[in-house]
C-alpha cells in the first residue's frame, strides 16, 4: 500500500510541475507544443480582447481560491468572481475541501499573487452575483495578454461553468476543457479526481 501511495503522490507532483511549467511558458510567450499536438489549442480557440474591452490594471490584493480574487480599484477592495469557470471548493464552510481544490488554489496563487491584472465584464451576464461579487474575466499581463479563466481550464485546474446564459468566451472555454480532458490534465487525471471534484480531497497528511 505504501508503494502505491508513493506512486500516486509522485504522479500528482509530476502533473502539478508540468502544469506550472506550461503556465510559465504561456505567460512568457513561449510555444509549449506543436500546433498539431493532440489537445494543443488552435488559434481560433484562444480568447482575445482589445484594450477597450478591459479596465485596469488593478493590483491583486488576495487570491481567495481558484475562481475568486480581490483587487484594489480606486482605493476600494473589489471581490471578483471569475466568469465561465469553477474550481473545486476549499473555503465553503458547508462542504469539505474538494478533490484538487488545494492544487487549484495553489496554482492561482502562483499565477496571481503580486500581479497587476485587467478586468473585463460581460454584458451577457449580470454585473454582480448574489453575493455582491463583481463578475469578470481576469487578464494577466503578457504579449499578448493571457486570459486567466481560460488558462485554468486548459491546465486542468477548473471546470468550464455556464451559470445560466451563454457568455462571451463560452466556445473557447469549452474547447479548453476538451483539450484538458484529452490530456488527462490536472483534475481529469485518473490519479487525481478523474473529473469528479465533488468528492472530498485526500488528507494532505496521509500517503
Which domains does the chain possess? Answer: 2-31+47-188 (2.40.50.90)
**Phi, psi angle pair for 105, to nearest 5°:** -65, -40
Strand 76-82 to strand 134-140: parallel, antiparallel, or no bridges (unpaired)? Answer: parallel
Known catalytic residues?
Answer: 81, 89, 133
Is the Cβ–Cβ distance between 151 and 120 less than 8 Å? no
Residue 45: predicted pLDDT = 65
Q: Copy the grid coordinates of residue 1.
A: 500500500
The residues that bridge with 62 in the sheet, in sequence order, are: 70
Query: Going residue by residue through the chain (207 aa), what tens digit of pLDDT does each one get?
Result: 444 344 434 444 444 444 455 555 445 443 333 333 334 444 446 677 655 689 999 999 999 999 999 999 999 999 999 999 999 999 888 889 999 999 999 999 999 999 999 999 999 999 999 999 999 999 999 999 999 999 999 999 999 999 999 999 999 999 999 999 999 999 999 999 999 999 999 876 444
Is the Cβ–Cβ distance between 98 and 200 less than 8 Å? yes
Residue 137: predicted pLDDT = 98
Residue 53: predicted pLDDT = 82
Residue 9: predicted pLDDT = 42
Element (H, E) at 77: strand 76-82
Amino acid at each position: 500500500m505504501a508503494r502505491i501511495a508513493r506512486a500516486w503522490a509522485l504522479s500528482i507532483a509530476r502533473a502539478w510541475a508540468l502544469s506550472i511549467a506550461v503556465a510559465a511558458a504561456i505567460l512568457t510567450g513561449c510555444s509549449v507544443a506543436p500546433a498539431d499536438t493532440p489537445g494543443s489549442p488552435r488559434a481560433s480557440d484562444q480568447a482575445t480582447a482589445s484594450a477597450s474591452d478591459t479596465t485596469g490594471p488593478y493590483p491583486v490584493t488576495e487570491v481567495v481560491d481558484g475562481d475568486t480574487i480581490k483587487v484594489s480599484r480606486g482605493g476600494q477592495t473589489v471581490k471578483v468572481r471569475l466568469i465561465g469557470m469553477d474550481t473545486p471548493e476549499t473555503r465553503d464552510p458547508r462542504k469539505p475541501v474538494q478533490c484538487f481544490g488545494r492544487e487549484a488554489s495553489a496554482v492561482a496563487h502562483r499565477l496571481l499573487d503580486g500581479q497587476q491584472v485587467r478586468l473585463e465584464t460581460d454584458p451577457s451576464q449580470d454585473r454582480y452575483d448574489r453575493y455582491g461579487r463583481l463578475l469578470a474575466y481576469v487578464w494577466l499581463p503578457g504579449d499578448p495578454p493571457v486570459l486567466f479563466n481560460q488558462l485554468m481550464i486548459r491546465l486542468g485546474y477548473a471546470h468550464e461553468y455556464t451559470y445560466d446564459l451563454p457568455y462571451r468566451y463560452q466556445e473557447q472555454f469549452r474547447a479548453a476543457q476538451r483539450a484538458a480532458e484529452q490530456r488527462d490534465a490536472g483534475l481529469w487525471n485518473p490519479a487525481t479526481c478523474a473529473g469528479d471534484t465533488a468528492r472530498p480531497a485526500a488528507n494532505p497528511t496521509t500517503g
